[in-house]
Amino acid sequence: MQMHIIKKEDLKNHIFIDHTLIINEIERSIKFYNWDFILSSLPSGSFLVGGYIRDLILGRLNYVIDVDILVPKNAINVGKKIADKFEGKFIILDEARDVVRIIFKHISIDIASQISPSIDIDLLSRDFSINAIAFSFEEKLLIDPSNGIKDLQLAFLRTNSKQNLLDDPLRILRCFRFISELDFNVDVTLIDFIKTYKNQLRLVANERINYEIQRIIRGKKASQAIILINKFKIFDYIQSEKNLIFLDLEKINFEEFNKFEKEKFLPLFYLVQILDEFSLKNLKFSKSEISKIRLLRKWNLLLKVQNIYEFNERERFDLHQELETILPSFILFLPKSFYINWLTRWRDKDDKLFHPSNLIKGNVLKKYLKIQDGPTLGKVINYLSMELAYNRLNNFDEAIYKGKQWIQQNAPKCD
């Protein structure tokens, strides 16, 4: 079965005023993504809601599918029966609010109980109009009380009330995720609200904030979101250091980077500009991420006091040795004239300066140089690696000879 995906460029033609087309696409997608088997187990008055409908309209559904379903009541019982019947993994997300998740091999389904007596009122209590669209499984119709479909056509982000965002302040940060992922414009009233209540983020669990940041820094329009985050000082409430690395992202040319490099290294480049080390730790970022940020900041601070053209051999070698695995994230801190040359050399895995290596392993050096494990061995290995990087080392015999020379000139009498 081949499914027709609605493309974002079609939005400009206003074809989505016709709800029938969207309904047909929803029903096709349910079969295409193979979750129609649960429909007969849903109670009367159930609705498909939220991001699934939004992403379908925007042509953003992919093979990692998250489904949100609203049932009239007893979501935990409904979810448990579906999980048992179809052998899904059952998780209670929020017992007080009656929200569960069922995980199958290919799909994750969240089921929640309707909060308000009317589906319209329930939808109007959601974060943004673009997420306040529902599809009735039973009546085969769309419910869109806040004109979310129109806002999708206009690529416009707005909320129905300030209280909706205050009920869960994480929604303040989610605005920037939609800017990053969807390239949406934000309602002026919503921007004013964000500025006023941004410190409410301190009430949100750090793990949830981490998740939103990870989404923001990986969006196709992440630079626009980062610009606004810095402009509105969203994370001032948690920062201990104010001297962050703020670059004019509008002037940076990312076109020299290929798709892989953009996906792998730009998120780290964005992250270093919005959070200091203290904040990263508080927000539960990994030790690996924090270590990488620490290195990027260290070398960027050196650039502030010393021009890259003035780096000597040792400084250049140390830079490439420490930043080898994340160098594309650092290149953007350099003058534009460096981009092509440094990226080209970094892409060449045989470039010994951009990918420092050793001609001889430590155990072999210990045997031929008659030294033991310790500081001297580490320094010899580092010295020979630098000689190799600058093409002053060609073979095994030269390495042993230079190693012996270095020990005679530099090693302490006792190692």
For 367, the 3-state DSSP assignment is helix
Q: The sheet that has 99-103: what strands, in order across it?
A: 89-94, 99-103, 107-113, 65-71, 47-49, 134-136, 141-143
Closest of 22, 31, 25 to residue 4, by C-alpha: 25
- Both tokens of 109, joined, read 């389904």
194 neighbors 166 (Cβ within 8 angstroms): no
Element housing 306 (H / E): none
The span from the CA of 269 to the CA of 323, in Å, is: 13
User: What is the residue-level pLDDT of the chain in tens, covering all 415 positions?
Assistant: 333 343 444 434 433 457 889 999 999 999 999 999 999 999 999 999 989 999 999 888 877 788 999 999 999 999 999 999 999 999 999 898 899 999 998 899 999 999 988 999 999 988 899 999 999 999 999 999 999 999 999 999 999 888 888 888 999 999 999 999 999 999 999 999 999 999 999 999 999 999 999 999 999 999 999 999 999 999 988 887 665 666 788 888 888 999 999 999 999 999 999 999 999 999 999 999 999 999 999 999 999 899 999 999 999 999 999 999 999 999 999 999 999 999 999 999 999 999 999 988 989 998 998 888 888 899 999 999 999 999 999 899 999 999 999 998 886 655 4
- Both tokens of 224, joined, read 């626009």
The span from the CA of 122 to the CA of 12, in Å, is: 29
The span from the CA of 108 to the CA of 18, in Å, is: 29
pTM reported for the whole predicted model? 0.85
Instruction: Show Cβ contacts of residue 347 under 8 Å, excluding neighbours closer than 6 positions.
Output: none
Strand partners, 226: none
The span from the CA of 76 to the CA of 98, in Å, is: 6
